[in-house]
Structure 1
């Protein structure tokens, strides 16, 4: 193994796995830390955790446990992957996790690179932008679990990390890197380079590609993969013509657009009212009894505006109830003969793969950048496509179905 990677949720893990794969590396994706040490060989192991919204102490503990497992497997380099929209909560987990990994591996410094330019996430002068709009002015500022209150990465890290951040405000040169090293020779620290174009990404890997620990979104993974110059090829999975169930728990603006477009094109759908779930008027079993006799692909969604989600009392408890219901529906669907599952929402995806109990996956072609087709090693008939709520164009569901 060349690279060991931990990711803060399952869609983030499949996202970065797809870019490592595109860069020429063979990848195995694990849902959580593997229960056995004997696993399929690959250039990259990616471990999907659920640390984005976990309490901080548990998130750090889980991350270090995963890093230790990767170290025992012989990882030469480590990648701490977090969301390309960072985490703007003052008590967020990115800082504590990165700090703990640097300390455990005895590393002086790393880089903070949440960029993914192909999907509109860029960093300029230390500020994070989404499609050219500062993070805190984008639609993500109203996220019910991790609201985006600032776009300046060093400000976000100031509330989370023990160590200082330095923004590289000019083209990267070795002399600049050396000056930071000399001025911080007795302390750990982070550097924040610009990354808004592919050329920036290539340059970051040119100067920082040999770091023992890299932290960021998935934007650097393809460039890092090419640095190793292996002969690995993207896995081609055979097409699967079985029926497909679509499950959407994300309340992002992008997912709601995708749902609307799917319905406009005449496809079947079923809306889950969270109030009915709260009052036990509806459950996964009752929903399935309503739809199971339909001989068509169907979308089941609970996606609503963040205002409505928050209005329904405790948004965290509501989110967990939605995730559990959609996860149970995925299990019932598989038991009833469905083999294709397409999911919108990072937390929802994590709940679904946990419910299905599928531990490891091969990475197939990407439906769109950062969203690959997954084939469980334990059941090669199944195909999963799992996306973060904010990713994909409006026709994503239809496109994903065609790719499977």
Structure 2
């Protein structure tokens, strides 16, 4: 059986598991773990605190630092309210395309990587090759966050990470982060005729929002020299501001939903520190002079680190050598790559399929994309073989 046929068969098995982020991925993880274990790989199943989700970390080759990690997420987005022409959890082949939820985002890469594992297992390797398959990427990269925390403290952590998100096999060396927050304001209700006796949560939410907009203007001047992002600076967006009920009641509750898309980690820290200082030094003292129980609590909905383009990037250079690509690109969508970069790994994004198909009805991956991915992985096998 050819590597492409093996990949197709495994991908069909993976698609049959409806690993929507809200549901467990344990059965799929067990399938992959058993497959790799049977090849002689060292396998770890790393469950989350609920026990219903897990990451898979496996290694073929020597137990030493500096290996290469092939990474992909196992969760998919829901299919409810989407008009599919076939069962999204039964892979269908038509006209050189494989249809099914997760085919391109991103079980296609996972299937190709595992299909190539026997070639790695059959050789003496100079460098270890790791397989990292995570949970809950679609809802904030929760699995990769847990995995990076574990890898950070390991002496034998990989040196390079190739994240196989669908890029049409283009080499992606950077993307912005995505950080989402909800700020909740608790004031003191009262009659609108005596505003000095209440704590107007909406007014403090408005002031909080105004400070974010001031910071947004500062960020325009912090763009890294030569930044190729569009726009080249970190952005802030106010998504929702709610509070109050009627005209003549001082509102006691309000919420602000906002997001930040940092081009560099320093901007993320700058905004968080500035807005927290504003709350601590100005808003809370004023609110609590009237009502000691007044509060402002910011909930982190998700903080996905960006992948910062680096002058020296061994992962990028390796994939360029394997694919023969002469250039790199940036993308607007987020991935797990930045989390691995933050713990000292070189990281690059390159995988089969198009992001234009992700999250849509009749999601598909083209067979020629899988063939290109397998060609890259064959090259990797030759690269690490003794």
Give the TM-score, by structure 2 length. Answer: 0.23
Give the TM-score, by structure 1 length. Answer: 0.22
